[in-house]
Amino acid sequence: MNSFSLSVDELEKKARAIRRRIIVMNAESPAGGHTGADLSQVELLTALYFRILNCSPQTKESDERDIYIQSKGHAVGGYYCVLAEAGFIPVDWLSTYQHADSHLPGHPVKHKTPGVELNTGALGHGLPVAVGIALAAKRNNSPRRVFVVTGDGELAEGSNWEAALVAAHYQLDNLIIINDKNSLQLAGSTKEILNTDPLDAKWRAFGMQVTECHGNDMADVVATLESLQPAGKPHVVIAHTTKGAGVSFIQGRPEWHHRVPKGEEVELALEELKDE
């Protein structure tokens, strides 16, 4: 049971607040950030932490808590903002993002940041570990579910597909893989750099149950995640998102993969993200 259980309208308001935190935090970081990737996943993480996950700051050590793994570790800025909004970490830590000796380094580190379940830096590591956790939960008759968010560019890493074979073989229907399919990576489109499509056919060929949704449409994200039921197969949700979603001059532009707003851009972005 999620301790927040927010309505869709409340989740949308929460998502705007989280986007504002991302803009300010990245602007203050001495080492930059991954603004586009942070913004594309906001609806996904907001829905998980404020409605779906059986996990809270009070139950983060429970053996039966749901597990969330941020496999696309470069998008940790957005993840930190969600953890702060949900009470796992103090909000004032966000101003220390990537500063020396900060609790918030440039990729998730479990022993530094409360709520982080796994260190993820190199892409392709999150899903294999998630499969192991889900398998252990199955064998221990635990009710826990394991959620992992991957990038679509990240799926070029072969370790993901080895993990998928194992997950399907052991019928890990307590595993939910969410592809943040924003169709951009680093300096261009995934189709130009290394095409991973058709993702739906690939996942089904590996034995997965596949669902697709509009990943920046909160109502669709919530309906999709709540529709998933154990059926003897791991779940894959292909969430079609826009990199940089929510800010007009950032969204869909590859140069914002590793760029942060500065000066007037900060104010322009915050103006766009005001509560409606």
**Res. 55 pLDDT band, cuts 50 70 90:** very high
Q: Is the pTM of the predicted complex or chain greater than 0.95?
A: yes
Residue 255, judged by CB atoms within 10 A of its CB (0-12, 13-18, 19+), counts as exposed
Residues 91-116: what's their mean pLDDT? Answer: 97
pLDDT of residue 228: 97
pLDDT of residue 162: 97
Handedness of CA 104, 109, 112, 114 (dihedral sign): positive
Is pLDDT of 275 > 90? no
Instruction: State pLDDT tens for residues 259-271.
Output: 999 999 999 999 9
Task: Walk me through the domains of the chain, giving residue ranges and CATH numbers.
Answer: 8-272 (3.40.50.970)
Instruction: State pLDDT tens for residues 224-250.
Output: 999 999 999 999 999 999 999 999 999
pLDDT of residue 172: 98
Is pLDDT of 276 > 80? no
pLDDT of residue 122: 86
Token pair belonging to 124? 């392709």
Q: SS3 for 198-221, per residue?
A: CHHHHHHHCCCEEEEEECCCHHHH
pLDDT of residue 79: 98
Distance CA 57, CA 59 (A): 6
pLDDT of residue 139: 97
Tell me the DSSP string of 135-180: HHHHHTT----EEEEEETGGGGSHHHHHHHHHHHHTT-TTEEEEEE
Residues 180-203: what's their mean pLDDT? Answer: 94
**Res. 64 pLDDT band, cuts 50 70 90:** very high
The rounded mean pLDDT for the chain is 96
3-state SS, residue 235: strand
Distance CA 144, CA 241 (A): 27
pLDDT of residue 176: 98
Distance CA 212, CA 189 (A): 20
Is pLDDT of 217 > 90? yes
Using only C-alpha atoms, what is the Rg of the chain? 17
